[in-house]
A and B are shown apart, each in its own frame.
Chain A
Amino acid sequence: MRTTDRRRPHRTIPYDGVLALLVNFGIAVTVGLYACGSHPPTLTPVGTAAYHATQVVKALDVLRDAAIDAEAQTPKLISTDNTRKIVTFHEAAVKAIHASPGGWKPTVVAALAQLQHDILPAEWSRLLPYVSLVKSLIEVTTP
């Protein structure tokens, strides 16, 4: 009887798993951004701006929550001082969005750039996926 060695070759990187994750992440981000980028057709421009602003606030919440969770780990993945900077940025950005639902974009984008300047690159890199989410959502939801 002929036997076949079905063992898979040794790999140091799980390519299949990585590929599957990338495919699903791509689908989820595409669908998610599409869902967030659209808006209820019954809204006027004022309501649409408020709706989009709410989506960006929620994305900023994800960034803030990720930082707080990282700070709560032992050892800390993000220092308390840098987490405080992120929380302070979040509060200022959210208040700016609330004060001007139609004109907050330059303020928030500039504040995000300043935040990146103030935080060590090693810690910033841990937040990069969440920052990318915020930036993508800002691009999708604002003209």
Chain B
Amino acid sequence: MTDYTAIATTAINALPGILALLKANHAQQNPGAPVMTDADALRGLNDAVFSTVAKDDAWKAAHPANATSADGHAGA
């Protein structure tokens, strides 16, 4: 027999995360919230790109392609 109590408990435990998502989405569309402009969106894209590319570069610097990796494979 299906244990609906366990399912309900798990669903309730997930509610805070779901509500946080809904709240974030609502805040974006609520007229009372700070209005996002095109400049904000473009700045957000720039910031996201530069920070994540920096992480790519850092990982590649720590794992050079010409080194033999710990799993025994020569780098490309």
Chain A residues with CB under 8 Å of B71's CB are 75-76, 79-80
Additional pairs, 9, CB under 8 Å, beyond known A43-B38, A98-B46: A31-B22, A57-B48, A57-B52, A61-B52, A64-B52, A79-B69, A80-B63, A91-B53, A98-B45
The reply to whether A95 and B59 contact each other, CB–CB distance below 8 Å, is no
- The residue from B1, B21, B60 contacting A35, defined by CB atoms under 8 A apart: B21
Size of B's binding interface in residues, CB under 8 A: 44
A-B contacts, 27 of them at CB < 8 A, read A15-B2, A16-B6, A17-B6, A20-B11, A27-B14, A31-B22, A34-B25, A35-B25, A38-B29, A40-B35, A41-B29, A47-B39, A47-B40, A51-B41, A54-B44, A54-B45, A57-B48, A57-B52, A68-B59, A79-B69, A79-B71, A79-B73, A80-B63, A81-B75, A87-B60, A90-B52, A97-B45
